[in-house]
Structure 1
Amino acid sequence: MKTEFKFSNLLGTVYCKGNIIFTPDGTCLLSPVGNRVTVFDLINNKSYTLPFSHRRNIARLALNPKGNLLLSVDEDGHSILTNFPRRIVLHHFSLRGSVSALSFSPSGRHFAVGIGRLIEVWHTPSTPESNSEDGLEFAPFVGHHVHAGHHDTVQSIEWSGDSRFFLSASKDLTARIWSLDPEDGFVPTTLAGHRESLLGAWFSHDQELIYTVSQDGALFRWEYSQKPQTNGNEELVDADSPLGWRIMQKHFFMQKNARMKCASYHPRSNLLVTGFSSGLFGLYELPDFNMIHTLSISQNDIDFVNINKTGEWLAFGASRLGQLLVWEWQSESYILKQQGHFDSMNALTYSPDGQRIITTADDGKIKLWDTQSGFCVVTFTEHSSGVTACQFAKRGNVLFTSSLDGSVRAWDLIRYRNFRTFTAPTRLSFSSIAVDPSGEVVCAGSLDSFEIHIWSVQTGQLLDQLSGHEGPVSSLAFAPSGGTLVSGSWDHTVRIWSIFGRTQTSEPLQMQSDVLHVTFRPDSKQIAVSSLDGQLNFWSVSDATQESGINARRDVSGGRKLTDRRTAANVAGTKAFNCIAYSSDGTCVIAGGNSKYICLYDVQSGILVKKFTVSVNLSIDGTQEFLNSRDLTEAGPLGLIDTQGEASDLEDRIDRTLPGSTRGDPSTRKFRPAIRVPAIAFSPTGRAFCAATTEGLLVYSLDTALSFDPFDLDIEITPSSTLNVLKQKDFLLALVMAFRLNEAPLIRRVYEGIPVSDISLVVKNLPPVYLARLLRFVAQATDETPHLEFNLRWIEALLRAHGPYWKDRQTIFAAELRTVGKAIGRIQSDLKRLADENCYVIDYLVSQASAGGDENKKGAEQMLLDEYAGPAKILAHIGTGEADGTEDEDMEDEWMGLGDDD
C-alpha cells in the first residue's frame, strides 16, 4: 500500500475571519479558512485549498492586479508571498505587528499595509515574469515609506486608479489622503467630520470625488472645490477661498438598531454595497444614493463584503455561522451559497463509490460533501440535537444517523428526504450505530444504557434489545460480509454477536481498559480495538483470539493546552485513539484522537508507517509541544487574560457573557478551540483518507491535482524546444517534455499534433509514470474538445496497451478509470440522442414524400441530400483523424449539434 498521502483539500469550513477577495478576472473567490486559503472556482463549480499554512489564523489577503502573486498575512503579522497559479510559496516575511488593512496598487509595483495606526508602503517582490533576470532576490521585501498620521487603527486602504495616491480610513474618525511619492504642491489631507470610526474611503472612477462611510451608517461625498458662501437662500462660490476637499452631500443608512459592519465600493459602476449587524445588506447607486435593493442573507453579522471586477457579483462572509455567499444582483440569484458546520464535527463516512463524504456535528446538521468539487451538496436539519454517528448502507443510496435527541434516522440520498425514524421505548441518547450490509437491520448503542437496540428498516419496528454489557456501549460495527455484529463497551469487553442466529449469545473478549472504538477489516476476519490505555489490539473473529497488539501511547501523545499543568508527554487525555479505520486492502490501519497527530500503522508488523500533523495553527490549543515561558505571567498565560475591557470601541468592550461560563449560548460564549480528531475514514478506492478535525474536514490524497515532474528537467526543456521536437516528428519525446513542463496549453498542442497512425506506438512506449496523467488528460479533453474519434482512438490505444497493467492496480488508477468511463458514457448518450433525432427527421421526410406526388417526392429527396451532404463531407474529414484544423472543428460541431458546454 502506498503511504505518500499529502494534504489535498479542506472541506467542512468555508470562511472563518478576515477579508475575501476576487481574482482579477472575477471568476474565483479566495476565502481565509483558519490558517489556510481556500479558492472557490465560481465558473467550474470547484474548490481547492492552497497547500501552505500559517502559524495563526489569517487576517488579510491581497492579490496583485495580474493575479499571479498572493500575499497572505496572519494575526501576528507573518506574511507569505505565493505564486498563485503554481501554488508555490516564494517568500516568508514578518511585518512585526497586527495587520488591519492590505492593498496592492493598480500598477502592481507597491502594496500598502495598515499596522496599528501606521501605514507602511512596500515594493512588490519581483517574479520570474518581471524585470529581474532570474526572479531570485536576497531581500525580496523592500520598504518604500512609512506614513504616521492616524491616532487609531487603520481600517481600510484604497488606491487611486493611477497608483499615485491612496486613501486610508481609521478608527480615529478621519480619512487621510497620501501620495506614494512626493508631489509638487501636494500635502497629506485629513478628511474629518464623521462621528464614529470609518469603515472605508474610496476614490470615484474619475478621481474627482471621494466617498467615506462610518460605522454609524453615514455616507459623505467629498469634492475638491472652493468653500461655498451663502447669500440668503443661494450658495455662491467664494473666489478668495483656497481649493480643498469639502463635504458636498451627506446620506444616512436608516437601519434602526443595526450597525454597519462592512462596505465596498465599485468605481466603474458607482455601486456601493454595505453589510449590517442584522445580516442585511444594501446595494446603492452613487452619487445619487439610489437604493437598488436590500436583502437579508444571514442571521448574524456580515463581516466582510467585496465586489468583483465587472461589478456583477457581490461576495459576503459571515464568520459566526461560517457562511460564504456570492450574489448576482442583476438576476437576483445566488452564484455560491455555502455554510460549514459552526460546531465541532463528530463523525464522517465515505459513500461506497468514494465520491461523497458525509459529516455530522454537534449543531444537529448532516452535510453531504462532493469530493470532486469540494462543495456541500445538501444539508439535513431534521435532528434536534447533536448527531453522533453516521453510516451508509452497502449500495450507497441510504444513510443512517444517530443523534442525542433519542432517534436514529434513515435518509434517502436520491430524493434527499428522511423516510424512517427509529426510537427506543425509553428516552436515550444514541452515540453509535451499525448497519447490516444488506440494509435490512440497523443497530444503535447508547452511553445511557447497556443494551443494543435493533430495528427493522422495512417496518421501522424494534426487533430486539441485546443485553450482556455491564457498561455503556461506546462503539458498534457490522462485518462487511454480514451476520456478525461487534460491540465495544466501557466495561472493558468487546462482544461478538450473531444476531441472525437462533440464540442471541455473544462471545466476550476481555480488554485491559475501556473500549473506545472497534472496526472490522474489509475481509470480516479481523477486528481492531482501541482502548483508553492507548493500546491497539487486533483479534481474530473466528477463533476469538488476539493476534497482535500495538502500544500507541507515545505515538498519539502530543500537544499542550494553555491550561495544562503538565507537559505534552505527561497529559493523560491525549494518550488514546478515539477513532480507527482500516485501509481498503486491510494491510494498514489509521487512527486519530484528542491530539494533533494522525498515525498510520502496518497491521502485520505493528510498525508506525507515517505520522501526520493535523495543524500547526497556534490559534488552536494543543498544537504546541512546549509553552513559551515569555507568555507566562503571575496572572497566568497571556492567552487566557481577558483584554476585552481595553478595546477602543464600546461595542467591543461590552461583555454580555455570564461570569465564569464556558458553555451555553453559542452566540455569546467565549472559548478557545482545542485540536482533536473525532473521526477518520479511508476512501473505498484507497487513494485518499479524510479526518474530521477542529479546523474542518481535512482530505489527504495520493492524487495531487497540480503535479510537476522535475526529474531530467534541464534548461533545454522549454515550450519552444518541445514544439521543435514535435515538428521533427519525435512525438513520444515531445509528449514527455510537455508533461514535465506541465503546461496545459502546451500538452494539448502536442497531444493534438500527434497523427492517428502513431497513437498506438506512442502509447505503447510511454513510461508508466505518465500513464495516469495521460489518461486523466484524455478524459478531460474528451469533455472539452470536439475531436470525437481522435479522443476515442487515444482511449482505445491506452486500454489495449496497458489494460492488464491497470487491472492489477485498480485501486491506484480507480479515479482515472472512473473519469474515462463517465466520458465514454456521456459520448454514448449524446450520440444516441443525435441518432434518434436524425431517425425522426428521416421518418418525417419519408412520410411527407409518400403523402404527396412525384414533385413532393423529388423535393423530399433533395431535402435529404441537402440535409446529409454536409455530414458526409464532415465524416470524410473526421475519418482522417486530423484534429488540428479549426475549420474541421467548426464543421464537426455543426454536424454533431454539440456546443462547447456539451
Structure 2
Amino acid sequence: MKSDFKFSNLLGTVYRQGNIIFSQDGTQLISPVGNRVSVFDLVNSRSFTFEYEHRKNVRCVALNPQGTLLLSVDEDGRAILVNFRAKTVLHHFNFKEPVSALQFSPDGSLFALACGRFVQIWKTPDVAEDRQFAPFVRYRVHAGHFSSILSLTWSRDSRFLLSASKDLTARIWSLDSDEKNLAATTFAGHRDYVMAAFFSADQERIYTVSKDGAVFQWEYTSREEPDGDQEPDPASYSWRITKKSYFYASQAKVKCVTFHANSNMLVVGFTNGEFRLYELPEFTLIQQLSMGQNAVNAVSVNQTGEWLAFGSSKLGQLLVYEWQSESYILKQQGHFDATNALTYSPDGSRVVTASDDGKIKIWDVVSGFCLVTFQEHTAAVSGLAFAKRGQVLFSSSLDGTVRAWDLIRYRNFRTFTAAERIQFNCLAADPSGEVVCAGSVDSFAIHVWSVQTGQLVETLDGHEGPVSCLSFSNENSVLASASWDKTIRIWSIFGRSQQVEPLEVYADVLSISMRPDGGEVAAATLDGQILFFDVHEGKQVNAIDGKKDIITGRHLEDRFTSKNSARSKYFTSIDYSFDGLSLVAGGNNNSICLYDISNSVLLKRFIVSRNMSLNGTLQFLNSKRMTEAGSLDLIDRDGENSDLEDRIDNTLPGSNRGGDLSTRRVRPEVRVTGIKFSPTSSAFAASSTEGILVYSVDETLLFDPFDLDVDTTPQAVSEALQEREFLYALVMAFRLNEEYLIKRTYESVPLKDIGLVSSGLPVVYLARMLKFIGDFSMESQHLEFNLIWVKALLSAHGRYISSHKQDFGSSLRAVQRFIGRIAKDVVSASKDNKYAYFFLTSTDGSTKNQESDEDETASIEFSNGAAEDDESDDEIMQDASDDEGWVGFSDSKNKSLPFEKDQESDEELI
C-alpha cells in the first residue's frame, strides 16, 4: 500500500473570519478557514484548500488582478505570498502589526494595507526585477488618521486611495507627489465609525458609509456660484456633501459594506443577519433579505456584479447569492459544535460527519460541499455506520435513539429504541444491513435491532462494565466489542451460541477496529498501546507502542515544554486500511500516525494543525509570556476593545468544546475525534478541531509525456496528421484547447486505429475526451463512428474510470445523454424500417438506369440548381469513401444506407 499521503482538502469548514474575495473572472471564491485558505469553484462545483498554514487565523486575503499572486495575512501581521495557479508558497513576510485591510491596485503594480492608523503602499513582487531576497519593497507610508483604519479602496486608474477609519473620517491619498496637496482631503461629518468609502465609476463622486447607517455623497464642487460667463476660481473647489441617505435599520448596525461601481450597486450587511441592495446615487432599495440571526461579517461582489458573497463567522456560514434571479449559487455551513464521528460511504465519494449539535452532514469529497443535513436527533450524535451498499446510514445519539437514514430520498425511515431510556455512545452495523448494534454507558448490554422490522431482537450480555466501542467486520457478521471492564469480546451475531471468551486487556480500551476480513481486531488503550488479537485463536499477536510517536503540544497554562508533557499520550480513534496491512490512528493530541502493522513501524506522522490560536500546538516554553499569575495570553483583554459587540461575552463559562472559539474562558484544543480510511485506501479523513482533514495519495500529477513539448502549434497538429501520428496529434489538439483542431483530429483517426489510439491516450485527457465525444455526438451525423470511440475508450480505461468515478461524472453524463437521445432513436428507427429497407435494396439492382445525354439535358432544363447539387453530393460521397476515418459511407455507385452493414453492432454497443 502507498504511504505517501499528503494533505489534499479541508471539509466541514467554509468560513471563519476575515474578508472573502472573488477571482477576476468571478467563478472562484476565496475564503479564509482558520489558518488556511480555501478556494471554491462555483461553476465546476469543486473546492480545494491550500496546503500552507499560518501561525494564527487568517484575517485578510487579496488576489492581484492577473490572478497569479495571492497574499494572505494572519492576526499578527505575518503574510504569505502564494502563486495562486501553481499553489506554491513564494515568500514569507512579517508586517509586525495587525493588518485590518488589504487590497491590490487595479493595475496590479501596487498593493495597499492598513496597519493600525497608517496606510502602507508596497510594490507588487515582479518576476522581471531581480529582488530574490527582498520581494516586498515599501513604496510609501501615509499617516493622518487618529484611530484604526477599517477599509481601503483604490480608484480605477490606480492614482488615488480612499481610507475609512474609526476616527469618524475618511481620507483620500494620492500616489503622485504632484497631486499630493490637491488630494489631501478629509471627509468628516459622520457620527460613528466610517466603515468604507468608494469612488463612483467616473470618479466624480465619493460615497462614505458609517456604522450607524448613514450614506454621504461627496462631489468636487465650488463654493462660488458661476457669474455669467466667468468661470469660478479653481481654489474655491473642494469635496462637499451633496446628498445624505440613511438605512433606518432600527437597532442593527452596519457590519460590512461593498460597492460595485459599474452597476452603482451598494451591498450592506448588518449585525442582525440582514443584507440589503441599494442603487446609487438615487439610493433605491432593490432587495432586502436575511441570512440568519447572526451578523454578516464579510461581503463581496464579483466582477460582473451578478453574484454576491456573504460570510458569517458565528455559525461558519458562506453564501453566494445571485440577486437578479433571487437564487443561491452556494449555501454552505459547517458544524456549530465539535465533530464526534465520521465515516466514508462504501464508494468513497462522500464523508459523513456527526456533531455535538445533533446534526449529521454529508459532504462530497470532490466538491467539498455539504449535500444534505439531518437534524432529527435532539442530542449529540455519537456514532455513524453505513450498510454495505451505501444506501442506508445509521446513527446513534445521546437522545436514546438509533436512526436509519435513506440516502436516496434523504429521510429517516427507522428509529430504534431500547426498552428503557439510555444514551447510546457507540454504533456498529452489519455489512448486509440486516441488523444494527449499539452500546451505552448506562447499560452493560449490547442492543441488536432488525432493520427490516425495527424491533429489538436481542441483547448481548456478558460485559461487566459499560460498553465503550463496537466494530463489525466487512466480510462476515463478526462483531467486536470493548468495555470498561478491560475486556474485548467477539460475537457471532447469527450464530447459535452467544457464549464468548473475553480477551483480557490491561488498560481501558478507547477504540477498536476489526480487520476487513474479520481475522484480526485492533484495540487502542489508555496507556498508549495498540494491541492486535487473532479472532480465531483468541490470543494477542502484535503490539505497537504509540506513546513515543505521539506529539502532544503545550497548553498556555503549562509551565513546561511539550517534550515533558504526559497529556494525551494515547489514541482515541483507529482504523484499518482495506488490505489490512496498515493502520491509521489519532487522538486528543496534535498528531496522526500511520503504521505498518506487520513490522510495527511508524510509516508517517502528520501534524494536525500549526495554528497557535489553538491549545496544544505550541512546542516550547516562552518565558517572556509567563508570570507568577500564569501566561499573559490567558489575560482577558476583551474589555479593552473599542466595539461594544466585541466587549460582550456570550460564551458558556468553562466550556472547552471545539466549537467555542472564545479566548476569554479557554482556547479550543486541537484534537482528532474520528478517523477513517476510504474504501480504496487512496485517502483517509480525520475530523479535528479545524474541520475534516482529508489526506490522499497525490494522483493528480499524472505523467504526461507531451508536457515537455514546446512546439505545440496548430501547424504541428496538421503535420502529425499527415504523418499519421494520430495519438500525438490528438493530445496536442487537447493541449491547445482549440475546438476545430480537436474535431478535425478526432474525425481523421481511421476506424482500424481507434482502439490503438484509445488505449494509448493518457488518462489526464480521458475525461476531456469523453466529454468532447458526448457533446460533439449530439450534432454529429457519424453515429457508429462515435459509438466505436466510446466503446474503445471504455474498454481500454474502464478500470481507471471505475476507481475514479468522481472525476468522470460530467463526462459520463454527456455520453449517456448522447446514447439516450440519439443512438437509441436511430436504432429503433432502423428496426422499424428493416423490411422496407430490404424491399428497396432488392428492387434497386433489378432496374438499371441507362443515363443518356438527352436525359441529362432534360434534368438540367428542369432545374438549374439540381445538377450542381447532385454533383456536389457525389463529390462529398466520393471524398468520404476515400477517407478511412469516415464510417457509414460506401462508394457512389452503391447507394446503400449508412446502417446497412453495422446495424447489429449499433444495437450491441447501445
Cross-structure match for 1:513? 507
State whether structure 2 residue 43 is matched by structure 1 residue 43: yes
> Structure 1's 421 and 878: CA in aligned 2 closer, same or farther, altered over 3 A?
farther
Cross-structure match for 1:175? 170
Cross-structure match for 1:207? 203
State whether structure 2 residue 837 is matched by structure 1 residue 827: no
- Name the stretch that deviates more: 545-554 or 612-621: 612-621
> Structure 1's 554 and 652: CA in aligned 2 closer, same or farther, altered over 3 A?
same
The 8 Å contact of residues 675 and 687 in structure 2, kept in 1 or not, is answered as yes
Q: Structure 2: state its 5+ residue gaps.
A: 226-230, 835-865, 888-910
Q: Structure 1: state its 5+ residue gaps.
A: 230-236, 847-861, 884-902
Shift, 1:688, TM fit: 1.1
Cross-structure match for 2:98? 98
The 8 Å contact of residues 552 and 567 in structure 2, kept in 1 or not, is answered as no
User: 2 CA distance for matches of 1:227 and 1:37?
Assistant: 50
Shift, 1:721, TM fit: 8.0
Post-superposition Cα deviations, 1:728-780, rounded to whole Å, max 9, x if no partner, equal 568889959979x996739996897485246655666x6xxx95435455445
Please state whether the residue corresponding to 2:421 is helix, strand or coil.
coil
User: 1 CA distance for matches of 2:738 and 2:331?
Assistant: 35
User: 2 CA distance for matches of 1:750 and 1:15?
Assistant: 41
Post-superposition Cα deviations, 1:398-417, rounded to whole Å, max 9, x if no partner, equal 00001111111000000100
Post-superposition Cα deviations, 1:314-335, rounded to whole Å, max 9, x if no partner, equal 1100011010001111111111
User: 1 CA distance for matches of 2:795 and 2:434?
Assistant: 42
User: 2 CA distance for matches of 1:731 and 1:70?
Assistant: 44
Post-superposition Cα deviations, 1:788-844, rounded to whole Å, max 9, x if no partner, equal 8777666655676788xx6xxx7xx75347756985575245323324545788999
The residue type paired with residue 347 of structure 2 is D
Cross-structure match for 1:727? 719
> Structure 1's 879 and 324: CA in aligned 2 closer, same or farther, altered over 3 A?
farther
User: 2 CA distance for matches of 1:398 and 1:762?
Assistant: 42
Please state whether the residue corresponding to 2:158 is helix, strand or coil.
coil
User: 2 CA distance for matches of 1:308 and 1:633?
Assistant: 49
Post-superposition Cα deviations, 1:116-149, rounded to whole Å, max 9, x if no partner, equal 111110111114xxx55xx873321111001111
Shift, 1:47, TM fit: 1.4
Shift, 1:583, TM fit: 0.8
Matches within 5 A, 1:247-326: 247-326=241-320
Please state whether the residue corresponding to 2:572 is helix, strand or coil.
strand
Matches within 5 A, 1:92-171: 92-127=92-127, 131-132=128-129, 137-171=132-166
Cross-structure match for 1:745? 737
Post-superposition Cα deviations, 1:434-453, rounded to whole Å, max 9, x if no partner, equal 11122111110112222211
User: 2 CA distance for matches of 1:736 and 1:385?
Assistant: 61
Shift, 1:535, TM fit: 0.7
- Name the stretch that deviates more: 137-146 or 719-728: 719-728
> Structure 1's 816 and 744: CA in aligned 2 closer, same or farther, altered over 3 A?
farther
Matches within 5 A, 1:451-462: 451-462=445-456
Shift, 1:58, TM fit: 1.0
- Name the stretch that deviates more: 330-339 or 775-784: 775-784
Post-superposition Cα deviations, 1:476-510, rounded to whole Å, max 9, x if no partner, equal 01122333211011211111112322332222000
Shift, 1:581, TM fit: 0.8
> Structure 1's 597 and 880: CA in aligned 2 closer, same or farther, altered over 3 A?
farther
> Structure 1's 799 and 415: CA in aligned 2 closer, same or farther, altered over 3 A?
closer
Matches within 5 A, 1:516-535: 516-535=510-529
The residue type paired with residue 264 of structure 2 is N
Matches within 5 A, 1:685-696: 685-696=680-691
Cross-structure match for 2:190? 194
The 8 Å contact of residues 159 and 165 in structure 1, kept in 2 or not, is answered as yes
The 8 Å contact of residues 707 and 742 in structure 1, kept in 2 or not, is answered as no
Shift, 1:684, TM fit: 0.9
The 8 Å contact of residues 105 and 159 in structure 1, kept in 2 or not, is answered as yes
Matches within 5 A, 1:860-871: none
Post-superposition Cα deviations, 1:31-62, rounded to whole Å, max 9, x if no partner, equal 11111111111111221222322222111111
The 8 Å contact of residues 772 and 816 in structure 1, kept in 2 or not, is answered as no
The 8 Å contact of residues 880 and 886 in structure 2, kept in 1 or not, is answered as no
The 8 Å contact of residues 383 and 425 in structure 2, kept in 1 or not, is answered as yes
Please state whether the residue corresponding to 1:206 is helix, strand or coil.
coil
Post-superposition Cα deviations, 1:263-285, rounded to whole Å, max 9, x if no partner, equal 01111111001011111101111
Please state whether the residue corresponding to 1:186 is helix, strand or coil.
helix
User: 1 CA distance for matches of 2:668 and 2:609?
Assistant: 12
Please state whether the residue corresponding to 2:236 is helix, strand or coil.
coil
User: 1 CA distance for matches of 2:883 and 2:697?
Assistant: 39
Cross-structure match for 2:339? 345
User: 1 CA distance for matches of 2:254 and 2:261?
Assistant: 20
The 8 Å contact of residues 789 and 878 in structure 1, kept in 2 or not, is answered as no
The residue type paired with residue 551 of structure 1 is D
User: 2 CA distance for matches of 1:268 and 1:874?
Assistant: 57
Match of 1:579 among 573, 580, 583: 573
> Structure 1's 752 and 560: CA in aligned 2 closer, same or farther, altered over 3 A?
farther
Shift, 1:298, TM fit: 1.7
User: 1 CA distance for matches of 2:384 and 2:212?
Assistant: 47
> Structure 1's 624 and 751: CA in aligned 2 closer, same or farther, altered over 3 A?
farther
> Structure 1's 634 and 527: CA in aligned 2 closer, same or farther, altered over 3 A?
same
The residue type paired with residue 710 of structure 2 is T
For normalisation by structure 1, the TM-score amounts to: 0.86
Please state whether the residue corresponding to 1:427 is helix, strand or coil.
coil
The 8 Å contact of residues 199 and 213 in structure 1, kept in 2 or not, is answered as yes
The residue type paired with residue 749 of structure 2 is V
The 8 Å contact of residues 68 and 85 in structure 1, kept in 2 or not, is answered as yes
Cross-structure match for 2:890? none
Match of 2:222 among 226, 231, 234: 226
Cross-structure match for 2:605? 611
State whether structure 2 residue 699 is matched by structure 1 residue 699: no
User: 2 CA distance for matches of 1:737 and 1:51?
Assistant: 34
Shift, 1:640, TM fit: 1.1
Please state whether the residue corresponding to 1:601 is helix, strand or coil.
strand
The residue type paired with residue 267 of structure 1 is A
Match of 2:555 among 551, 556, 561: 561
Match of 2:677 among 682, 693, 699: 682
Shift, 1:653, TM fit: 2.9
Cross-structure match for 1:71? 71
The 8 Å contact of residues 592 and 680 in structure 1, kept in 2 or not, is answered as yes
The 8 Å contact of residues 781 and 791 in structure 1, kept in 2 or not, is answered as no
> Structure 1's 258 and 516: CA in aligned 2 closer, same or farther, altered over 3 A?
same
User: 2 CA distance for matches of 1:725 and 1:349?
Assistant: 48
Shift, 1:686, TM fit: 1.8
The 8 Å contact of residues 656 and 669 in structure 2, kept in 1 or not, is answered as no
Please state whether the residue corresponding to 1:486 is helix, strand or coil.
strand
The 8 Å contact of residues 723 and 734 in structure 1, kept in 2 or not, is answered as no
The 8 Å contact of residues 14 and 339 in structure 1, kept in 2 or not, is answered as yes
State whether structure 2 residue 587 is matched by structure 1 residue 596: no
Matches within 5 A, 1:871-886: 880-881=884-885
Cross-structure match for 2:850? none
> Structure 1's 708 and 150: CA in aligned 2 closer, same or farther, altered over 3 A?
farther
Post-superposition Cα deviations, 1:208-266, rounded to whole Å, max 9, x if no partner, equal 1111111111111111112379xxxxxxx997982111111111111111111000111
> Structure 1's 658 and 544: CA in aligned 2 closer, same or farther, altered over 3 A?
closer
For normalisation by structure 2, the TM-score amounts to: 0.85
Shift, 1:190, TM fit: 0.8
> Structure 1's 736 and 621: CA in aligned 2 closer, same or farther, altered over 3 A?
farther
State whether structure 2 residue 539 is matched by structure 1 residue 545: yes
State whether structure 2 residue 33 is matched by structure 1 residue 33: yes
Post-superposition Cα deviations, 1:847-877, rounded to whole Å, max 9, x if no partner, equal xxxxxxxxxxxxxxx9xx99xx99x979959
State whether structure 2 residue 803 is matched by structure 1 residue 815: yes
> Structure 1's 628 and 189: CA in aligned 2 closer, same or farther, altered over 3 A?
same
Match of 2:386 among 383, 386, 392: 392
User: 2 CA distance for matches of 1:875 and 1:509?
Assistant: 80
Matched positions, count:
841
User: 1 CA distance for matches of 2:545 and 2:634?
Assistant: 35
Match of 2:749 among 733, 750, 756: 756
Cross-structure match for 2:853? none
User: 2 CA distance for matches of 1:560 and 1:143?
Assistant: 37
User: 2 CA distance for matches of 1:46 and 1:36?
Assistant: 17
Please state whether the residue corresponding to 1:639 is helix, strand or coil.
helix
